[in-house]
Amino acid sequence: MPNTNRPYVLIAGAGIGGLAAAASLLARGIDCDVYEQAAELKEVGAGLWLSINGARVMFGLGLEPQVRAATLEAEERAVRLWDTGQKWTLYKRGSSPRAHAPLVMLRAQLHAILIDEVNRLKPGVIRLNKRCTGFAQEGEKVRLDFADGTTATGDVMIGADGLHSKVREKAFGETPGRFTNALAWRGLVPMERLGGHHRTAATATTWVGPTAHVTVYPARWQTTDLMTFSGQVERSDWRLESWSEKGSVAECVNDFKGWHPDVVEIIENTESLHKWGLFVRDPLPRWSVGRVSLLGDACHSMVPYLGQGVNMAIEDACVIARCLEKYNDPAEALLKYQDARLDRTTRIAAGSADMQRTFHHPALGDPKTAAGYAESQWNPGKARARYDWIYDYDATQVPV
């Protein structure tokens, strides 16, 4: 049962970050409720990878069996040239204790694991059809306002309401996104549609080119083996920041004209392609005001080039719960959370944006320079310097 001496927490948003926060709080005896604007719980998107820094939090919640059952552990991580397919292996699973092979899965699977866990810890914790429109702080209480005219009152409020966060807007004003002149594609391919060589090894591969890159890796939905497809291409004619906009196979194939046949084959067999414009936002100098703070995309949205968006939200969830457990004053706890997380997430968001210039480079378009450039960027030493500091972080132990 929740410790009644601890704060009662309102969470706006039942995405992966909001649910991870609820699970982390409830596991520590801190009562909470989650308010979600949608009429039903479903996670959009295709695949994701849960890197070891995010997995540590999930495992710490006792969810390792569920995560392992839903994921495939990539046998290797590789980079390939967009046209020739020349390959560089960054690491292989089991090759060293620092290989850090990601656990690859579908967003819907991770979402479902967290839904089941928070409902196990507190049945009925998720309230649907509750679109947040704002909040007010009244003494030692926070009031969350909803579009249907109702309110909820708690001791602390966490805005986990995503890119277009109403909590962020109310607390800090509008933070418009800047278009990166890049369009993202995503989709899933039933593995049975692809040639046999796609199924020989569970490899997470990033194909790099002069103006675009593609990441593919296997996943499994129940008994169906799938290939996830995510492609980013430099285009300035699509500026809609929406995950639900559908695109056509023909348009996507045209964006990757001249690419290796393996990439084209995956695109041509992809089901339900979606596209969205990629935007970045200036980092906030602070996330917390009084008894209200932000989490995940609401405070540090990032382009997906380091694969860390969902992992940062999961880390946030763990750290904010640890701070609310440790400090008696909720406002102090939220400042400690902010101090523990702001520099790391800002650095990762900046590094993610910088990777666009690394993945998309003119040298990759010239056969004379392509291999040399790839070798300079993805040799083992460079890969360790780029990624190990991300993966070595442990949100369950970092000082708060």
CA 4 to mean position of chain CA atoms: 33
* Architecture per CATH, 9-72+104-176+281-354: 3-Layer(bba) Sandwich (3.50)
HEC-encoded secondary structure of 79-141: EEECCCCCEEEEEECCCCCCCCCCEEEEHHHHHHHHHHHHHHHCCCCEECCCCEEEEEEECCE
35 given a catalytic annotation? no
pTM over 0.85: yes
Confidence of residue 337 (pLDDT cuts 50, 70, 90): very high
| Structure tokens belonging to residue 202 | 């569970």
pLDDT digits (tens, 9 = 90+) for 72-125: 777 888 999 999 999 998 877 766 555 566 788 999 999 999 999 999 999 999
What confidence score (pLDDT) does residue 30 get?
97
H or E segment at 268? Answer: helix 261-268
The per-residue pLDDT for range 313-329, each reduced to its tens digit, is 999 999 999 999 999 99
pLDDT at 1: 45
What residue segments make up the domains of the chain, in order of their start? 9-72+104-176+281-354
Render pLDDT for 191-243 as a digit per residue (tens, 0 to 9): 999 988 887 667 889 999 999 999 999 988 888 889 999 999 999 887 677 66
Instruction: Quick: pLDDT tens for 130-185.
Output: 999 999 999 999 999 999 999 999 999 999 999 999 999 999 999 888 899 999 99
Contacts of 190 (CB under 8 A, 6+ apart): 224, 225, 226, 269, 271
Residue of 8, 91, 217, 337 marked catalytic:
217
Q: DSSP code of 3? A: -
Q: What is the pLDDT of residue 97?
A: 55
